[in-house]
């Protein structure tokens, strides 16, 4: 099993940064609802794109979407380098490029607020490098069903829509604190929340640890389910970690559950490593999340094949 040397410090390091960076991906500029309008910015030709574009801006090193971006470079013969970073850095690079009307390619996924704020498009992937539609799953450590059956049942029941998630994500992106955005949604959707908790007995301040990655979709879902679990009596702690450590912490029992697993593709390597030590409770989002390469609409290209530079 990988990362044995560091797993012992996962929980303590993560707790020290718990929620500290949850707001790091919020956009600082509130000008208008759609930036990078094709009516405001010059359309960039393939030649202009090829001249100035050198990298694909990615997210966490080792994440499925970054790994697939690297595969795409090879499969399509692109003269580009995949530059891994953090989600917040990726969205900042996107905003900077759009503000300067420059070409940029980022690893993208939806649900994500950037599709509301900017005029973006997925590039077609005729070779199918990015695979089929994804699902966001709830996963738990082995034994949670026996140790904390009430939490297990709520987590197993948890299912909401892209529209639900979008409400929370947009509120956070517009400046509402993570916990307040989640609280507002829970208060407005009591009927849906009751579907997750009906018939479940309350507990007496039992401790529960949820781990997640700092992606907007996961910040939204994790904060919502935290409040719901607290309503039935759990003392819930959130631990923000990178994808690899999220899976490892659950496999080793250092955390209890996560609603942030992207399967079958984005977290495929982690699932392969730890599937015998965790339990997959299934999808928690009623929809089909997508991953791929994303560009502003002012870039006059439609396919990953169009990124093949005419520098040859």
Residue-wise DSSP of 144-206: HHHH-HHHHHHHHH--EEHHHHHHHHHHHHTT--HHHHHHHHHHHTHHHHHHHHTTPPP-SS-
Chain segment 196-239, per-residue pLDDT in tens: 999 999 999 999 999 999 988 999 999 999 999 999 999 999 99
| Inside any domain, residue 2 | no
pLDDT (average), residues 164-177:
93
- 109 and 231 belong to one structural domain: no
pLDDT at residue 217 in the model: 92
The residue count of the chain comes to 312
| Inside any domain, residue 96 | yes
- 123 and 152 belong to one structural domain: no
- 278 and 303 belong to one structural domain: no
| Inside any domain, residue 72 | yes
Other C-beta atoms lying within 10 Å of the C-beta of residue 211: 29
pLDDT at residue 39 in the model: 60
Rg (CA), the chain: 20
The count of C-alpha atoms lying within 13 angstroms of the C-alpha of 90, restricted to the half-sphere facing its C-beta, is 28
pLDDT at residue 40 in the model: 77
- 241 and 264 belong to one structural domain: yes
Q: What CATH number is attached to the domain comprising 255?
A: 3.10.105.10
- 141 and 265 belong to one structural domain: yes
- Residue 280, φ and ψ in degrees, nearest 5: -90, 115
| Inside any domain, residue 91 | yes
pLDDT (average), residues 87-111:
93
C-alpha to C-alpha distances, 12 to 204, 247, 294, nearest whole angstrom: 24, 16, 35
Q: What is the residue range of 39's domain?
A: 34-132+290-307
- 46 and 112 belong to one structural domain: yes
CA distance 57 to 143: 39
- In angstroms, how far is CA 42 from the centroid of its own chain? 31
- 81 and 209 belong to one structural domain: no
Q: pTM of this prediction?
A: 0.72
pLDDT at residue 37 in the model: 53
pLDDT at residue 280 in the model: 98
Q: Which residue has the higher pLDDT, 181 or 64?
A: 181
What 8-state DSSP symbol labels residue 120?
E
Contact of 142 with 267, CB cutoff 8 Å = no
Q: For residue 75, which of 310, 303, 312 has the smallest C-alpha distance?
A: 303
pLDDT at residue 34 in the model: 54
| Inside any domain, residue 14 | no
- 140 and 278 belong to one structural domain: yes
Assess whether pLDDT exceeds 50 at residue 57.
Answer: yes
Residues of the chain with pLDDT > 70, as a percent, come to 86
Is residue 275 classed as helix, strand or coil in its secondary structure? coil
| Inside any domain, residue 10 | no
The C-alpha angle with vertex 303 and arms to 85 and 261, in degrees rounded to 5, equals 45
pLDDT (average), residues 156-163:
95
| Inside any domain, residue 212 | yes
Q: For residue 107, which of 57, 63, 55 has the smallest C-alpha distance?
A: 57
Assess whether pLDDT exceeds 90 at residue 289.
Answer: no
- 261 and 192 belong to one structural domain: yes
CA distance 265 to 259: 16
- 60 and 111 belong to one structural domain: yes
Q: What CATH number is attached to the domain comprising 94?
A: 3.40.190.100
Of 117-121, 248-252, 256-260, 288-292, give the lowest mean pLDDT range: 288-292
pLDDT (average), residues 67-81:
95
User: What are the contacts of 73-79 at 24+ separation with CB within 8 A?
Assistant: 75/127, 75/129, 76/127, 76/129, 76/304, 76/305, 76/307, 76/308, 77/308, 78/304, 78/307, 78/308, 78/309, 79/308, 79/309, 79/311
- 143 and 121 belong to one structural domain: no
Average of per-residue pLDDT values in the chain: 87
| Inside any domain, residue 8 | no
pLDDT (average), residues 29-48:
68
User: 244-280 in b/e burial notation, b at 16+ Cβ within 10 A?
Assistant: bbbbbbbbbebbbbbbbbbbebbbebbbebbeeebbe
CA distance 271 to 191: 33
Residues of the chain with pLDDT > 90, as a percent, come to 70
- 113 and 52 belong to one structural domain: yes
Number of domains, the chain: 2
CA distance 94 to 103: 9
């Amino acid at each position: 099993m990988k990362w044995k040397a560091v797993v012992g410090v996962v929980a303590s390091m993560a707790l020290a940064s718990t929620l500290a960076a949850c707001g790091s991906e919020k956009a600082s500029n509130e000008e208008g609802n759609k930036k990078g309008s094709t009516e405001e910015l010059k359309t960039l030709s393939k030649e202009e794109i090829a001249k100035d574009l050198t990298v694909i801006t990615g997210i966490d090193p080792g994440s499925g979407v970054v790994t697939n971006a690297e595969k795409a470079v090879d499969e399509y013969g692109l003269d580009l380098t995949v530059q891994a970073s953090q989600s917040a850095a990726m969205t900042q690079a996107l905003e900077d490029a759009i503000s300067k009307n420059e070409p940029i390619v980022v690893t993208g996924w939806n649900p994500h607020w950037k599709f509301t704020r900017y005029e973006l498009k997925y590039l077609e992937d005729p070779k199918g490098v990015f695979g089929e539609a994804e699902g966001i799953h709830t996963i738990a450590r082995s034994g949670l069903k026996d140790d904390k059956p009430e939490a297990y049942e709520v987590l197993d029941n948890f299912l909401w829509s892209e529209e639900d998630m979008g409400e929370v994500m947009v509120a956070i992106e517009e400046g509402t604190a993570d916990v307040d955005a989640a609280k507002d949604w829970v208060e407005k959707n009591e009927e849906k929340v009751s579907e997750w908790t009906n018939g479940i007995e309350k507990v007496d301040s039992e401790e529960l640890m949820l781990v997640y990655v700092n992606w907007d979709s996961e910040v939204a879902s994790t904060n919502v389910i935290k409040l719901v679990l607290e309503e039935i009596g759990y003392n819930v702690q959130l631990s923000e970690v990178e994808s690899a450590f999220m899976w490892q912490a659950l496999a080793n029992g250092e955390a209890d559950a996560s609603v942030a697993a992207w399967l079958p593709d984005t977290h495929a390597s982690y699932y392969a490593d730890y599937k015998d030590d965790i339990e997959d409770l299934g999808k928690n989002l009623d929809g089909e999340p997508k991953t791929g390469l994303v560009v502003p609409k002012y870039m006059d290209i439609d396919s990953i094949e169009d990124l093949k530079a005419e520098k040859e």
